[in-house]
Amino acid sequence: MNKDKNMISIWLWIALACAASMAEAQAASPSPAPSPAPSPSPSPANIEDRVAASESTLVRLLRTSVSGYVQARATDQETIVPETVVPESNFFVRRARLNLRHSFDRGRVAVSFDGGQNTVTVKDAYLDLFLTKAHGQRGGLAFRAGQFFRPFGFEVERASTDREFPERPTGWGVFFPGNRDQGFDLSLGLTSALTVNVAAVNGGGTSTATLSFRDGDNHKDVMARVRYALFSPRIDLAASVYSGQQTVAGAAAVPAQLAFVDSNGNGVKDPGEPTVLVSAARPAGADIVGDRNRWGFAANVYDLLGGTLRAEYVGAREITLNQSGSGPARGTAPARAWYASYVRNLLQQLSAGARYDQYDPDTDDTLRPKGDGEQSTLGVVLLYQLGDPIRLSATWERPSITVYDRRTAVATTTHHDLWTFQVQYRF
């Protein structure tokens, strides 16, 4: 980049020198007749200003980058219903991402848009300010403001282009809706191997379309993460904690349902036909306020038998459905999610991986009896890299879901295989 910039500056100076020489030659030759005085030619100072302005514009352009990717998918899923297996197939664009980045001396600005699934949404929109300079491999103090990935563990911040499986594990979609949030984040490299993050966010994430740019419950959440890197063997470790509250709106008021005794069978309420109450009115339920707490540990082990092992555990206290048959419709319960995956190259361009994850919305089974809502998923993926920009992947996943029936007090577990073929192109 510096070489290109220097060459451009040299050519600019050569062009300006030629122009100045021609102007001097014309000034030295005698004029045949007096003529109106021409406009004064630019002085060397003005020429230097113009060159400096051109260089400044070039520098700004070189500091701005545009990138993105498209993920086109074909899916086929078996949905199990009583005595029938119905395959459901679909073609769609999962993500169509455009990333804009601009850096300056003391920071950078990032804006990302996504147009997948027939909607356009803002993904990244933040400003980074480098308050202190980095020293070697040790990062300095940086301040981030806007909408960004929550600094929790590793999986939340892994880019879609880097992940091997089509989506993050099930529990991550519940505990970290939208993956991003709005707020402020401070990061500091204490050593070349140790980095600390502290952030304050709204807590609701970015998945709620009606509350994308304001905090719906006025609670603010805080989180902290410590990352540590080992270089021999190469291992990345992270410990995270998250503390917050959330408010879930209570049930809406339901008016009374009335009917009448149609004595003559004409379908119209005639005078004298009595009115009967079908169902009584129900008042609006009170809002439910509960915890939104998480804590977790994550590890990435590289070069393990030629592949990479990733594992992460998240414990939580979260508002969930109350299926016990007594009390309010929702309550706070202990929950957890975890996953482990292993990916290894088979050939130069071909790699394969496997992942197993579990999600339990109520580890005590108090509000969700007999494992209601639990889900475990086993998956296998094959990936083929066509050069740098194109990656093909074929994934098989088997999610197993447990559902509790309050009427019969019986829990059933079903599974439905999901096949996903994806073409990814990034630029």
Retrieve residue 21's tokens: 């020489």
Please, what sign has the CA dihedral across residues 8, 11, 17, 19? negative
Retrieve residue 46's tokens: 């003005």
66-250+285-426: in CATH 3.30.499.10: no
Q: How far is CA 198 from CA 36, 174, 243, in A?
A: 71, 22, 12
Whole-angstrom distance, CA of residue 419 vs CA of residue 427:
26
Residue in the structure block whose two tokens are 């063997």: 233
Q: Where in the chain is the domain with CATH 2.40.160.10?
A: 66-250+285-426
Are residues 222 and 198 in contact, defined by beta-carbon separation less than 8 angstroms?
yes
Are residues 319 and 262 in contact, defined by beta-carbon separation less than 8 angstroms?
no
User: Does the global pTM surpass 0.85?
Assistant: no
Phi then psi for 16, rounded to 5 degrees?
A: -70, -35
Provide the residue count of the chain. Answer: 427
The one-letter amino acid code at 199 reads A
pLDDT tens across the length of the chain (427 residues) = 444 444 444 444 444 444 444 444 444 444 444 444 454 444 455 776 666 666 667 666 779 999 999 999 999 998 755 445 556 899 999 999 999 999 999 999 999 999 998 889 999 999 999 999 988 888 899 999 999 999 999 999 999 999 999 999 999 999 999 999 999 999 999 999 999 999 999 998 875 555 556 677 788 999 999 999 998 889 999 999 999 999 887 777 888 888 888 888 888 888 888 888 888 887 877 888 899 999 999 999 999 999 999 999 999 999 999 998 888 888 999 999 999 999 999 999 999 999 999 999 999 999 999 999 999 999 999 999 998 899 999 999 999 999 999 889 999 999 999 999 999 999 9
Torsion of CA 56, 61, 62, 68, to 10 degrees: 160
b/e 26-46 (16+ beta carbons within 10 angstroms → b) = eeeeeeeeeeeeeeeeeeeee
